[in-house]
Amino acid sequence: MGFGNVFFTLIITLSVALITYNILISANASLKQELPGPSRSSIIDPVIKMPVEKSRKYGSNAEKRLFHTAVTASDSVYNTWQCRVMYYWFKKHKNGPNSEMGGFTRILHSGKPDKYMDEIPTFIAQPLPAGTDQGYIVLNRPWAFVQWLQKADIKEDYILMAEPDHIIVKPIPNLSKDGLGAAFPFFYIEPKKYESVLRKYFPEENGPITNIDPIGNSPVIVGKDSLKRIAPTWMNVSLAMKKDPETDKAFGWVLEMYAYAVSSAFHGVGNILYKDFMIQPPWDTEVGNKFIIHYTYGCDYDLQGKLTYGKIGEWRFDKRSFDTVAPPRNLPLPPPGVPESVVTLVKMVNEATSNIPNWGS
pLDDT above 50 for 120? yes
Rounded mean pLDDT, 188-200: 98
C-alpha closest to that of 23 among 201, 246, 147:
201
CB atoms within 10 A of CB 185: 17
Instruction: Determine the pLDDT at residue 173.
Output: 98
Instruction: Determine the pLDDT at residue 44.
Output: 32
Contact between 57 and 63 (Cβ < 8 Å): yes
Rounded mean pLDDT, 108-118: 97
Q: What percent of the chain has pLDDT over 90?
A: 79
pLDDT above 80 for 254? yes
**Distance between CA 191 and CA 49 in Å, rounded?**
22
CB atoms within 10 A of CB 200: 18
Between 236 and 63, the more confident residue is: 236
Q: Which residues pair with 158 in a beta bridge?
A: 67, 223
Confidence of residue 53 (pLDDT cuts 50, 70, 90): very low
CB atoms within 10 A of CB 354: 11
Instruction: Determine the pLDDT at residue 10.
Output: 46
Cα distances (angstroms) measured from residue 127 to each of 116, 130, 134, 218, 339: 18, 8, 13, 20, 39
pTM of the model: 0.84
Instruction: Determine the pLDDT at residue 317.
Output: 98
Q: Mean pLDDT across the chain, nearest whole number?
A: 87
Instruction: Determine the pLDDT at residue 25.
Output: 32
Instruction: Determine the pLDDT at residue 63.
Output: 81
The 3 state secondary structure assigned to 66-132 is CEEEEEEECCCHHHHHHHHHHHHHHHHHCCCCCCCEEEEEEEECCCCCCCCCCCCCEEECCCCCCCC
Confidence of residue 294 (pLDDT cuts 50, 70, 90): very high
Instruction: Determine the pLDDT at residue 32.
Output: 32
CB atoms within 10 A of CB 312: 11
Confidence of residue 155 (pLDDT cuts 50, 70, 90): very high
pLDDT tens for each residue of 56-111:
444 445 589 999 999 999 999 999 999 999 999 999 999 999 999 999 999 999 99
Instruction: Determine the pLDDT at residue 61.
Output: 53
Chain CA centroid to CA 159, Å: 11
Cα distances (angstroms) measured from residue 121 to each of 141, 211, 311: 17, 35, 38
Between 26 and 231, the more confident residue is: 231
**Distance between CA 182 and CA 86 in Å, rounded?**
20
The dihedral sign for the CA sequence 199, 200, 201, 206 = positive
CB atoms within 10 A of CB 9: 16
